[in-house]
Structure 1
Amino acid sequence: MTAPRHALLLLAAGGSRRLGQPKQLLRLDGETLVHRAARLGLATAPAEAIVVCGANADAIRDAVADLPLRKILCSAWENGLGESLAAGLGALSPTIDGALVVLCDQPALDAGHLLALRDAWRGDPARAAASAYGGVLGVPALLPRGWFAALAGGGHDRGARDLLRSHAGQVHAVPAPPLADDIDTPAQARAATGGSLGPNPAQE
């Protein structure tokens, strides 16, 4: 039997207002967060791979120029994460059965967890597979095609989070407690990485 086809959908359009500089371009162990997230997502062998850009689009594109990603511009990125998600889903080919949604601001993310999400979804591709942390379901998550229409309108700031929680009975939860720690503020950046997180030299 042929395995269902998934796409990597990396959402990297945000303006990082609370951080005060583009979080996508911060470096962890010498690698930008957007490059790191893309590299880990590509380890799941997606049939397609898209990065959605918005704020600082040129710099984001440059940061992942060496990776096999299609770059999509979300002109309405300021309206919230839902707009970026809708733009990415709308760009996928009709042969894609699910979308692995990944963000840039979870420094504890690793390829093993993304592979676990992929494999859980492949076991029942009509259901979603989502990360479980902090008592909730969230991203990264692999969303089935049957959910795409509900997310196509954008216009919300929580991405797929509300849909995952309202459809929890249709979600395979993959535990990942460390992913509760993300990066929104300078203090979070320092705490999450023990001070090893630094700016992209090009931004200095």
Structure 2
Amino acid sequence: MKVGIVILAAGASTRMGAPKQLLHIDGKSLIKRIAEMTMDTPAYPIVVVLGANRNMIRPELDRMPITVIDNPQWEAGMASSIKMGLVGAYMTLKDLEAVIFLTVDMPYVSVRLIEEIIAKAQETEKGKEESPDIVACRYGEQMGIPVLFKRKLFNDLLELSGDNGAKKVILANKAKTATIDFPHGKTDLDTIEEYRNFLSNYNQN
């Protein structure tokens, strides 16, 4: 299956007080860290959507075999970045069959998780005739990113607006959604306190 990845990295990180894309783990920025991780997966193409602070962030991606897209409408909400990333992935590979959406602030996303998502998307579950249209990660009571959408749902994603993220499409297609348990998905780095707490625990392990 031809699966692309879209990394959503256009936000202004207002709660963090600084561009979270440039925060470091193990001496490497979050944006560079996740981009390099995706390059080790079977996914192609890899698209990164930038917006706020793009001139500061863009150099982190220099000389990588990825597509970088500027979203001038990033302030309009998450939907604009989803659409820009999806169009960028489709323009890079016309016969794309699915896309996985990621964000930069989930430090436990790994090559193994991406491979599990792709494998699950190709499975036929017991009692069902077709493989799922969506594979979402589950953490606690939540379903969300990282999440894979198959081509038949691309138009639904393109119709999103404002701050409506991928979750709206997931909820509208729950019967066609498979999930992967990803407890570490509860860890995302929105504030400086969360970042410091993560580093403290991460360095102890």
Shorter-chain TM-score above 0.5? yes
CA contact (8 A) 2:132 2:177 kept: no
Identity value in percent: 27
In the alignment, the residues of structure 2 paired with residue 143 and residue 134 of structure 1 have an alpha-carbon distance, to the nearest angstrom, of: 21
When residues 189 and 152 of structure 1 are mapped into structure 2, their CA distance, relative to the original with a 3 A threshold, is: same
In the alignment, the residues of structure 1 paired with residue 36 and residue 171 of structure 2 have an alpha-carbon distance, to the nearest angstrom, of: 28
CA drift of 1:192 comes to 1.9
* 1:160-184 Cα shifts (integer Å, max 9, x gaps): 0121133222111010011111011
| Bigger mean CA offset, 102-111 vs 149-158 | 149-158
Report what 1:165 is aligned to.
Answer: 171
| Bigger mean CA offset, 186-195 vs 63-72 | 186-195
Report what 2:137 is aligned to.
Answer: 131
CA contact (8 A) 1:52 1:71 kept: yes
SS at 1:172 equivalent: strand
In the alignment, the residues of structure 2 paired with residue 67 and residue 45 of structure 1 have an alpha-carbon distance, to the nearest angstrom, of: 16
Report what 1:51 is aligned to.
Answer: 48
CA drift of 1:133 comes to 0.6
TM-score, length of structure 1 as denominator length: 0.88
When residues 126 and 95 of structure 1 are mapped into structure 2, their CA distance, relative to the original with a 3 A threshold, is: farther
CA contact (8 A) 1:189 1:195 kept: no
Report what 1:194 is aligned to.
Answer: 200
Where structure 2 has 5 or more consecutive residues not aligned to the other structure, the ranges are: 125-130
- Within a 5 Å distance, the mapping from 1:69-84 to structure 2 comes to 69-84=66-81
CA contact (8 A) 2:31 2:104 kept: yes
RMSD: 1.8
SS at 1:194 equivalent: helix
Report what 1:98 is aligned to.
Answer: 98
Where structure 1 has 5 or more consecutive residues not aligned to the other structure, the ranges are: 198-204
CA drift of 1:126 comes to 5.4
TM-score, length of structure 2 as denominator length: 0.88
